[in-house]
Chain A
C-alpha cells in the first residue's frame, strides 16, 4: 500500500514536472510579454529543478538582446536566430516589439535593412484577407498594428522605406492591409520633406568636432556670400596656451566695418552661443561692436504738399548713403564669427591676435572686452528635469 502510494505520487510528480516543463516553455514566450511590460522577467519563471541536465539546458531563457556586442551584425543575427528557431515562429509579434525597443541600444534605429528584416519576420500569405468582411474589419489586428508600429518607428527616425518594403508588406497583408496604407502615405509625404531645408546637412552629421564646427561656421556665414572661412592654428601665436584649431569667418565688408570702428568704442568677444546641426550642437563666438547709426532719417510731414520733390528733376540730395550691410544689425555689428577646438578664453585671445595678423591691423588699437559666459539660457541637466 505504502509502496504503491509512493509509486502513484512519483507518477504524479512526473506529470507535474512535465506540466511545469511545458509551462516553462510557454514562459520563454511570456518573457517577451514581461519585457514589454517592464516586468522583471525572472519572477515569472518558476524555479523548477529538473532531474536531467539535458532538460535544464533547454529551459534556459533565451534573452535575445543581452549580447555584449551591440551592433547591427549581432542584431540581425538575433533576428535570424528567431526566424530559424522553429517553423511556426510563435510569439513573433512579441519578439518584434521587444526588438523595436532595443534598436537604439544597438544603434540600428536609422537602418532600413534592419527594419525590413523585422517586417520580414511576419509570415507571408496568412494575413491576407480572403473576403470583404475580413478586409474591412482589420484581419489579424494585432499583427497589422505591429507592422504599423514598425513603420511608425521608421517614420519617427526619418527612415524612408523602399520598394522592397512595399513588396514584403504586400506579401504579408495584401493590398487592403492598413500597414500598406501607412506605407503609401509615408512614401507620399516623407520624400517631400526630406530635402526641404535650405541649409542641408548630412544624415547623420559627422561626430568629429572640427568638421561639425566647420559646417556650423559655414552655415552661419552663408548670410554673406563673400565671407571667407579661414582655419587658424593657435600654435602660430607663441604665447598661446591652448594649442588648438580656430575656424574663423570674416567677409571683406566686415573688415571694412572693423577698420571704421572708432578707436574709443570697444569691441566685444561674445559667446558661447549654441547652434544645432541636427542632434549635434556647436558653440560659436562672435566679435561684435556697437551699432553706429550713420544716418538719421528725418521725419517728414507726409501730408505737406507745399514742397514736393521729383527725383527725376531735382538735384540728388546728400541724404543718399550706402545701405547697411547684413552685418549691421540693431543689436550690434557682427565683425567676425569663430569656433575653436577648446572654446576657452585663451583660444579666443589667440583668435583675436590671428585676426589682427590676417588683415585687421586696427584691432591692436581698440579696446576689446571678453564677455564669455555660459551658453544662452539656463543650462539644465536632463536628469534634473526628470527628477522634478
Chain B
C-alpha cells in the first residue's frame, strides 16, 4: 500500500529498497552477501517469525537511512583525543604542502586546453613503492568473512603486482552466504585538509590500462559516491579480461560501457557514468574460481578519442510501474 501511493520515482525510501536488493534481486558481481550486523541468524527457512519475513540479500538492511558511509566496515579503533590532536598536527605539514601546490597550480592558470587524440594521459604509474601509498588491497578475510588473501607490491621490473589467493569457502558463522573476493582500490580523490574532491575526467572517452594478467577476468570499479546515503555506494563496473601469458596487453575500455551497480547489484535504472563525479577507482577479482591470481599493472591512463560517439551502451527504456526499481 505504501508503495502504491507513491508516484513513480519520487520516494528515496523505495529506491533504497530496490538498490539494496530487498525488493528485487538484481544481478550481483561482488559475491558478498550477508544480513546486517545486528540481525539474528534467520536466513534459514526454519524460522518464520515476523522479523524473518524480511529478505537478507544485501549487505545492510537500512530501511530509512544509513548512518555509516562504510556500512560498518570502517576501522573499529578508537583513539584518545590527545592522540588525535597529535596525529592531526603531524599531518598538518603535508596538508599545507598540498595546499601550496594547489595554490601554485591555480596561479599558473594553465589548464589542459587541448586533449590530443590518441595520447594516453597516465593517471597512475606504478614505478616506485611510494606510488602504492594511496592504494589499498582488501579481501574478505580482512573482515572475517572469508579466507581469500591478497597483496599489492612492486615487482623487480617496477610494475605493480596485485596477487593473492581466492578462496570461496564460506565461513561457518551462519551469517555469510558467499565468499571469495579480493579488491584493490585507490583512496578517494581529495584536496588539501582532507576536503573531498572528484576526478575530473569529462574530456576523456576511454580508460586505458597496460596489464599482464593470468587469464582470469577482473572487474573495474569506478566509484561515484554521491551526497545522499543511497548514492554512497554507486559504483560503475566493467570487466577487464586478461589474455594471460608473458605478454603485456593494453586494454582500452570506453566509459560508455560502464554500468551502474550499488553494493554489487546491477541497478535497474541505468545512466551514463558522470565522469566529473568519480571518487575512486578499483580493480577486484571474484570470479568464483579457487586458486592463486596475479595481475601486473604498468599504468592506468585516460584517453580522448573523438571518433567514439557512443554515450551509453545500454538501453534506457522504462519498464512498467513498480516492476523495476526507479
Interface residues of A (CB under 8 A from B): 33, 36-37, 93-94, 97, 132-133, 136-137, 141-142, 145-146, 148, 151-152, 155-156, 176, 178, 181-182, 184-186, 189-190, 192-193, 196-199, 216, 219-223, 273-279, 281, 284, 286, 288, 326-327, 329-331, 334, 337, 375-380, 382, 385-386, 388
Contact = CB atoms under 8 A, between A and B. Distances in A.
Contacts, number: 142
A156 B3 contact: no
Contacts of B45: 33, 36, 93-94, 97, 142, 146
5 contacts: A142-B48, A178-B25, A197-B217, A377-B163, A377-B164
A337 B244 CA distance: 12
B268 A185 contact: yes
Nearest to B147: A385
B262 interface: no
B215 A277 contact: yes
Given A33-B46, A136-B4, A220 B244 contact: yes
The 9 closest A-B pairs by CB, nearest first: A220-B245, A275-B244, A276-B215, A275-B215, A331-B157, A223-B247, A279-B289, A385-B147, A182-B25
> Could you say which of B24, B25, B55, B214 has the most chain A C-beta atoms within 10 Å of its C-beta?
B25
A37 B268 contact: no
Nearest to A94: B45
Nearest to A275: B244
Interface in B188-225: 214-217
Interface in B26-47: 26-28, 31, 44-46
Given A36-B44, A330-B157, A223 B243 contact: yes
Contact of A133 (B1, B46, B164, B324): B1
Given A36-B44, A286-B246, 11 more contacts: A94-B45, A133-B1, A136-B4, A197-B217, A334-B246, A377-B163, A377-B164, A377-B165, A378-B292, A382-B169, A388-B147
A132 B4 contact: yes
A209 B317 CA distance: 47
B25 A148 contact: yes
Nearest to B56: A145
A337 B3 contact: no
B40 to A, nearest CB: 14
Nearest to A133: B1
A329 B244 contact: no
B53 A141 contact: yes
B292 A377 contact: yes
Given A276-B216, A375-B292, A377-B294, A219 B245 contact: yes
